[in-house]
Amino acid sequence: MTQQTFNDAVLVYPLLNADVSSGAAISASKLQQNRYLTSDFGFNTDDTPTTTNKVIYVAQTAATLKTFAVMLTDTGTTTDIDFDILINGTSALTAAVNITNASTDNVLYNGTLTTTALSSGDVVTIDMTVTTSTAALGPLAIISIDDSYLN
């Protein structure tokens, strides 16, 4: 029996432009990028939030919703705010992310996604439903999406 050897030279660093030969003809559909999108819902960090809904993304190609997180600059004294992310009007979470006055200021709270697939033309919106917001300040929502490179 003969002994087999394997090449152990593994690429362990990011693939950079210089690593790809000119004219390699890599299809744009093989390239992906991670987009981080934020919304402050139109409020400054010192504004008290009120119920609102914002469009944050319209898919141009097939994409994957990876994360959803929200926070308040100051969670206030009697705060109760729900944040939900919707794809074409339908929630993509197991349950809305709830921030209360017991939550920590300036800390991101993640939602648990149940729907992640996006198709071209899908509209992603974020609902912020305020029950009470006494002394609460500065809402922020962050999503990340993997999508194909767009020309």
**Closest C-alpha to 140, from 33, 16, 56, 31:** 56
Three-class secondary structure of residue 98 per DSSP? strand
What is the predicted pLDDT for the residue at 106? Answer: 95
Three-class secondary structure of residue 18 per DSSP? helix
> Which domains, and CATH codes, for the chain?
34-148 (2.60.120)
Task: Find the distance separating the first CA and the last CA of the chain, reported in whole Å.
Answer: 53
What is the predicted pLDDT for the residue at 151? Answer: 45
Q: Could you write out the DSSP letters of every residue in 24-51?
A: ----GGG-EEEEEEEE-TT--TTSPP--
Per-residue pLDDT tens, the chain, 151 aa: give them. Answer: 455 554 555 545 566 777 777 777 777 666 667 889 999 999 998 999 999 999 999 998 889 999 999 999 999 999 999 999 999 999 999 999 999 999 999 999 999 999 999 999 999 999 999 999 999 999 999 999 998 655 4
